[in-house]
């Protein structure tokens, strides 16, 4: 968004980090994202455009390589300042660094993704939630405030006007290009839908769902206990700060649940950004702590009882019905229950030829099928499960070394596994 001349330029900053094709497309082509992710993003932008125009803020759709198109747009508009949202992932940061070299106007980065800006929450890589939690809570009184009201409507006095966006054509092209990963309908894009999911009639905060969060959020058989807000956070349709503010109003009625929600929605999310921001190779075994690297290397040649190809994993064709159910849940709905994500990732480590292959497969599947993939939380989820990030060493065992182990027997102590498998079978019979 340009400063003195308030223009909004679209880009999906939560991109994967290996390569991006930047041809003449409405957004760059990121790794394995498909219609599911691009459709959600574009439909959300379509809904945002009239809201901006009502505030006299034009919306410019720019196509192609952002390193070229953003500086060109700034020059075309004679912008006085360029403002971008913070993103902790490599590719977004590379874009920002290269764009900064090509413009001669002030360029500000604002962390609207988090409640406390990442670089203020901590100035270093944090070992885990226990080391960052107190820092965040200490700073919350300074940052967790209501958003300021717009006192004066902006005035757009430039002769440069945005081209009309043919949204139907843009969305159709994205859906065709990414049809291997089809859209889902259980979650609707846009700010209004995000607020409904948060505190609408059947929303997370305004129904009995919040009161289930603390006790039942780790039970895959009670998905209604989850907030389902992560897609809205990821695509910028809802600020984590807004969710935190609204939840905090209910602390007197459901203190334990509100505190648990803030732990995940603020502390854990900001911990994920902290890791990706301060660890450039965040998706590599080299990013693991020494105890984990040494342990995984020691056991990398341990015999595997089962080894599966990426294709077999993607299709959910393993000997493990519980794992297959979680993979199929993700492919079908674009969302895997948080508890199952841990089990899912750890079994990939157990069933592949090396930790490097496991990390590669886990990130690929997560980024391709999860609606909120290509996000710091996803990378931390994989690296926690496979490399002990934000965890500690446990009893040494084959393949895993000292990385925390999980098996189906342990899951059966936590929840009714057979009930979950049947739940997913029934869900697969219905449209997503």
From the list 353, 366, 367, 280, the residue with the least C-alpha distance to 20 is 367
Token pair recorded at residue 30: 């990121």
Model pTM greater than 0.85? yes
From the list 53, 400, 415, 115, the residue with the least C-alpha distance to 248 is 115
Residue 28 pLDDT > 80, yes or no? no
pLDDT at site 9: 43
Residue 416 pLDDT > 80, yes or no? yes
Q: What is the pLDDT of residues 288-333, one digit of tens each?
A: 999 999 999 999 999 999 999 999 999 999 999 999 999 999 999 9
Domains and CATH numbers, the chain: 1-110 (3.40.50.620), 191-277 (1.25.40.80), 281-428 (1.10.579.10)
What is the rounded distance in angstroms from the CA atom of residue 113 to the CA atom of residue 305? Answer: 42
What is the rounded distance in angstroms from the CA atom of residue 218 to the CA atom of residue 207? Answer: 19
Query: How large a percentage of the chain has pLDDT more than 90?
Result: 88
Residue 122 pLDDT > 50, yes or no? yes
Four-CA torsion 30, 35, 37, 42, nearest 10 degrees? 100
pLDDT at site 3: 28
Buried b (16+ CB within 10 A) or exposed e, 180-198: ebbbbeebbbbbebbbbbb
- Number of other CB atoms surrounding residue 126 within 10 Å: 19
State mean pLDDT over 229-251: 97
pLDDT at site 232: 98
**H-helix or E-strand spanning residue 110:** strand 107-110
Mean pLDDT of the chain: 92
What is the rounded distance in angstroms from the CA atom of residue 187 to the CA atom of residue 100? Answer: 36
Q: Are 77 and 104 spatial neighbours (Cβ–Cβ below 8 Å)? A: no
What is the rounded distance in angstroms from the CA atom of residue 195 to the CA atom of residue 203? Answer: 8
Q: Are 116 and 136 spatial neighbours (Cβ–Cβ below 8 Å)? A: yes
The CA–CA distances, whole Å, from 411 to 223, 311, 313, 374, 423 equal 16, 25, 20, 27, 16
Query: What distance lies between CA 52 and its chain's CA centroid?
Result: 24
What is the rounded distance in angstroms from the CA atom of residue 199 to the CA atom of residue 247? Answer: 9
State mean pLDDT over 232-261: 97
Q: Which residues contact 428 (CB under 8 A, 6 or more apart)?
A: 328, 332
68 — phi, psi (to 5°)?
A: -100, -45
Q: Where does the pLDDT of residue 108 fall: very low under 50, low under 70, confident under 90, or very high at 90 and above?
A: very high
Q: Where does the pLDDT of residue 155 fall: very low under 50, low under 70, confident under 90, or very high at 90 and above?
A: confident
State mean pLDDT over 344-350: 98
Q: What is the pLDDT of residues 29-39, one digit of tens each?
A: 555 779 999 99
Token pair recorded at residue 257: 């649940």
Four-CA torsion 84, 86, 91, 97, nearest 10 degrees? 60
pLDDT at site 30: 56
Q: Where does the pLDDT of residue 153 fall: very low under 50, low under 70, confident under 90, or very high at 90 and above?
A: confident
Q: Are 374 and 31 spatial neighbours (Cβ–Cβ below 8 Å)? A: yes
More confident residue, 233 or 157: 233
pLDDT at site 31: 55
pLDDT at site 29: 58
pLDDT at site 371: 97
Q: Are 85 and 13 spatial neighbours (Cβ–Cβ below 8 Å)? A: yes
More confident residue, 51 or 29: 51
What is the rounded distance in angstroms from the CA atom of residue 183 to the CA atom of residue 31? Answer: 17
What is the rounded distance in angstroms from the CA atom of residue 58 to the CA atom of residue 191? Answer: 18
Q: Where does the pLDDT of residue 21 fall: very low under 50, low under 70, confident under 90, or very high at 90 and above?
A: very low
DSSP string computed for 353-380: SSHHHHHHHHHHHHHHH-TT-SSHHHHH
Token pair recorded at residue 62: 């720019």
Burial of 134 (0-12, 13-18, 19+ CB in 10 A): exposed
3-state secondary structure 234-262: HCCCCCHHHHHHHHHCCCCCCHHHHHHHH
More confident residue, 336 or 25: 336
pLDDT at site 12: 44
What is the rounded distance in angstroms from the CA atom of residue 404 to the CA atom of residue 402? Answer: 6
390 — phi, psi (to 5°)?
A: 65, 20
Residue 11 pLDDT > 70, yes or no? no
What is the rounded distance in angstroms from the CA atom of residue 104 to the CA atom of residue 83? Answer: 13
């Amino acid at each position: 968004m340009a400063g003195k001349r308030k223009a909004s330029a679209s880009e999906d900053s939560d991109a994967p980090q290996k390569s991006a094709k930047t041809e003449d497309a409405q957004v760059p082509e990121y790794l394995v994202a498909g219609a599911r992710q691009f459709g959600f993003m574009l439909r959300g932008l379509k809904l945002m455009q009239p809201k901006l125009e009502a505030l006299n803020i034009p919306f410019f759709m720019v196509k192609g390589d952002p390193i070229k198109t953003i500086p060109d747009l700034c020059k075309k508009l004679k912008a006085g300042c360029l403002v971008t949202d913070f993103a902790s992932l490599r590719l977004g940061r590379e874009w920002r660094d290269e764009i900064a070299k090509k413009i001669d106007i002030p360029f500000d980065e604002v962390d609207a993704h988090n409640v406390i800006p990442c670089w203020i929450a901590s100035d270093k890589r944090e070992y885990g939630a226990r080391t960052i939690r107190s820092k965040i809570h200490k700073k919350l009184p300074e940052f967790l405030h209501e958003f300021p009201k717009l006192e004066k409507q902006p005035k757009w006095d430039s002769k440069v006007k945005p081209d009309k966006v043919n949204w139907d054509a843009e969305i159709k092209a994205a859906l065709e290009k990414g049809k291997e990963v089809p859209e889902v309908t259980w979650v609707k894009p846009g700010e209004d839908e995000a607020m409904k999911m948060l505190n609408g009639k059947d929303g997370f905060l305004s129904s009995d769902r919040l009161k289930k969060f603390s006790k039942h959020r780790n039970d895959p058989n009670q998905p209604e206990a989850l907030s389902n807000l992560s897609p809205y956070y990821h695509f910028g349709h809802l600020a984590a700060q807004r969710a935190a503010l609204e939840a905090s109003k209910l602390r007197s009625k459901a203190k334990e649940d509100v505190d648990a929600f803030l732990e995940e929605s603020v502390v854990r999310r900001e911990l994920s950004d902290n890791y990706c921001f301060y660890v450039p190779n965040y998706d590599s075994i080299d990013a693991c702590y020494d105890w984990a690297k040494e342990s995984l290397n020691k056991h990398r040649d341990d015999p595997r009882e089962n080894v599966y190809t990426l294709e077999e994993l993607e299709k959910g064709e393993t000997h493990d019905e519980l794992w297959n159910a979680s993979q199929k849940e993700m492919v079908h709905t674009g969302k895997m229950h948080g508890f199952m994500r841990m089990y899912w990732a750890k079994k990939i480590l157990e069933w592949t030829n090396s930790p490097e292959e496991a990390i590669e497969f886990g990130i690929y599947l997560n980024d391709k099928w999860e609606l909120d993939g290509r996000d710091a939380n996803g990378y931390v989820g994989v690296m926690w499960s496979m490399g002990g990030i934000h965890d500690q060493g446990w009893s040494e065992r084959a393949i895993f070394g000292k990385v925390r182990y999980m098996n189906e027997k342990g899951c059966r102590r936590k929840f009714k596994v057979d009930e979950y498998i049947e739940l997913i079978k029934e869900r697969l019979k219905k449209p997503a």
